[in-house]
Chain A
């Protein structure tokens, strides 16, 4: 007598096909979704002051280093205190007469009424730092040195993208370990001639790097020069970043 009805003969084929589909679905699902490219890139939090890099860096042409003063000397590209903002905004406000007759002109000027500037003024007056939200985060066990990268000729552009075009800053790149290593293993795509002194000129940098065959011509020359220098080629061993 038969324990199993005849239709059970199709179970192995069915199970095999489902398993095959299942494996493909799980693998491709992980491939796409379980990555920093999916989860990290594009992070764009709302900031306490809706400061626009597009306005300040691109339209007004303020250099990155005016605010992020330590970027060439330090591991950290510091976020400026509100004092730095007020360096200009005190003068702007004074020129427009807001300081003297603040209440009198209330309601007159868009500039005065701007919520962003109201917030800035109140932070500056209180002396508390503005609670900026950090966007580009690395794990605690990773050390990243801004100064070393700038000295080697890696522009802000390579990691942060066209910040000068962002009204609200967001994370453009995944910042995954593979993403770091891709550049450390072949840096020619991202090296620019730092003797030009235009490391922070993002539009110019983008134009340079986008030239046809840049990596194989100028980029590789710079990479060669870098590996000849005392600094050496970008390290790829564990303790370069994990120390």
Chain B
């Protein structure tokens, strides 16, 4: 009970950036008193609405931070490698991957599930946390939604190319054809097409619609600086006009009118409502790809909730992996993405990581309780067989690592959170690998095999990370990284009851 100052005064102090912890660390948003609500916008940006606009638009309008250039060079190189590998695969056939007869699904499905799972955090943050009025989400939702879109793009690549003859990929969709055959609607692989397709469409609409007012702000600011020109070598580019034209198209004629905002708010909450069930349904359907098969180790009812928890777990880790460096790279981003925001995300990681750990335990329990010899054998082989190391990495990264966030220091130290988030990403990739490599040991010992990836597998996966990061860096460069109007909404200045704490929290 060290807080002596009354809440209002504390908030004012914190808003001015004065509320550091006793030892001088942190930005002052980590409060030990649960009665004190930490401000969501601090520092210089907390001064006025104009400062928020200046900070957010400044990122898109000025040159990117120095680290952006090498990162973009590396990322786009890997994206290029992925393109080459995919071209090689299409020209040659899926034999260039390490698939073999017991293990017919290799890294392609591992990567697919991993990427789709990562996308889930974006939808959870933008839809469920929006409906639950968790205002701390405002500073990360645009970021997380962008991550969702790019992750689903990476995810969708793998099922698209793994069919071998990609020119028949249209067979995935129910299109009347001269073969007189129709998709097998009892197959979860078909449900997957629709689940992921719906997910991508809704996420894209949600993300884009949210950005329209911010694009309009960027457009209006670009018009104010229309004559700006920049020299790239010999070419002089009228950047002012290009920006005004580009943002002008993207903002779809938004005029900041009252009627526009009214429709916007309605559409936003509707899309949040539509996206909410998707958080649970998409990865459930992805888990059916495995759970509906009658293979020991796959045929379990725990898969849907366990996959969803794992998806949110890995998605939050990926948001942190991107957010923490971006927060240090871009000036003023720490005003929105406070230590408190990171701490909240760490708590979600611990919760979902524990749920995933519980699921791992439950799988073993059910394998024993089912009295099914093959089920038991599958799990014993999973943990002690030829892939014991993958199982070990999965358990240590997914179950043990996130427990460090019980320590306050761990969940309030950004560089440490960053390292843990990487571990979680690795662990969740290995979770999918462990599930898929269960194929190597099915019913008959004589048909057991071993799977190892080829260089094409490895480079395609690294390349998908490159595609993801390339798209993400382009997003950071040209798009509004924070939802300007939403940030303004959660500032004390937006409160209709300033300086009055009796009306339920003020904001």
Q: A36–B223 contact, CB under 8 A?
A: no
A16 at the interface (CB under 8 A from B): no
Q: B248–A177 contact, CB under 8 A?
A: no
B179, B226, B244: most-surrounded residue (chain A CB, <10 A): B179
Q: A177–B179 contact, CB under 8 A?
A: yes
A1 at the interface (CB under 8 A from B): yes
**Least Cβ distance of B165 to chain A in Å?**
12
Q: A36–B245 contact, CB under 8 A?
A: no
A194 at the interface (CB under 8 A from B): no
Question: What secondary structure prevails in chain B residues at the interface with A?
Answer: loop
Give residues of chain B (237-263) contacting chain A, Cβ–Cβ below 8 Å: 244-245, 248
A20 at the interface (CB under 8 A from B): no
Give residues of chain B (344-384) contacting chain A, Cβ–Cβ below 8 Å: none
Q: B223–A37 contact, CB under 8 A?
A: no
Q: B248–A35 contact, CB under 8 A?
A: no
Chain B residue at smallest Cβ distance from A35: B178
Question: Contacting B223 at CB < 8 Å: which of A3, A34, A178, A180?
Answer: A3
B219 at the interface (CB under 8 A from A): yes
Question: Contacting A176 at CB < 8 Å: which of B178, B219, B223, B245?
Answer: B178
B177 at the interface (CB under 8 A from A): yes
**B residues in contact with A224, CB < 8 Å:** none
A174 at the interface (CB under 8 A from B): yes
Q: A178–B177 contact, CB under 8 A?
A: yes
**B residues in contact with A66, CB < 8 Å:** none
B180 at the interface (CB under 8 A from A): yes
**A residues in contact with B226, CB < 8 Å:** 1
**B residues in contact with A1, CB < 8 Å:** 223, 226
> How many B residues are at the interface, by size bracket?
10 to 19
Q: A178–B179 contact, CB under 8 A?
A: yes
Chain A residue at smallest Cβ distance from B224: A1
The 8 A CB mask of B174-203 against A (1 = contact, 0 = none) is 000111110000000000000000000000
Question: Contacting A182 at CB < 8 Å: which of B180, B219, B245, B248?
Answer: B180
**Least Cβ distance of B241 to chain A in Å?**
8
**Least Cβ distance of A97 to chain B in Å?**
54
Chain B residue at smallest Cβ distance from A184: B180
Q: A3–B178 contact, CB under 8 A?
A: no
Chain A residue at smallest Cβ distance from B179: A177
Q: B248–A3 contact, CB under 8 A?
A: yes
**B residues in contact with A4, CB < 8 Å:** 248
**Least Cβ distance of A186 to chain B in Å?**
12
**B residues in contact with A180, CB < 8 Å:** 180
A37–B223 alpha-carbon span in the complex (Å)? 57
Q: B180–A36 contact, CB under 8 A?
A: no
A3, A35, A178, A180: most-surrounded residue (chain B CB, <10 A): A3
**Least Cβ distance of A140 to chain B in Å?**
14
**Least Cβ distance of B12 to chain A in Å?**
41
**Least Cβ distance of A87 to chain B in Å?**
41
Question: Contacting B219 at CB < 8 Å: which of A3, A36, A177, A179?
Answer: A3
**Least Cβ distance of B218 to chain A in Å?**
12
A35–B248 alpha-carbon span in the complex (Å)? 44
Question: Contacting B181 at CB < 8 Å: which of A35, A36, A174, A177?
Answer: A177
Closest 7 CB pairs of A and B: A178-B180, A177-B179, A181-B180, A176-B178, A3-B248, A3-B244, A35-B178
Which residues of B are at the interface with A, using a C-beta cutoff of 8 A? 177-181, 219, 223, 226, 244-245, 248
7 contacts between A and B (CB under 8 A): A3-B244, A176-B179, A178-B178, A179-B178, A181-B179, A181-B181, A182-B180
Beyond A179-B180, A181-B180, list 13 extra A-B contacts (CB 8 Å).
A1-B226, A3-B223, A3-B245, A174-B178, A176-B179, A176-B180, A177-B179, A177-B180, A177-B181, A178-B180, A179-B178, A181-B181, A182-B180
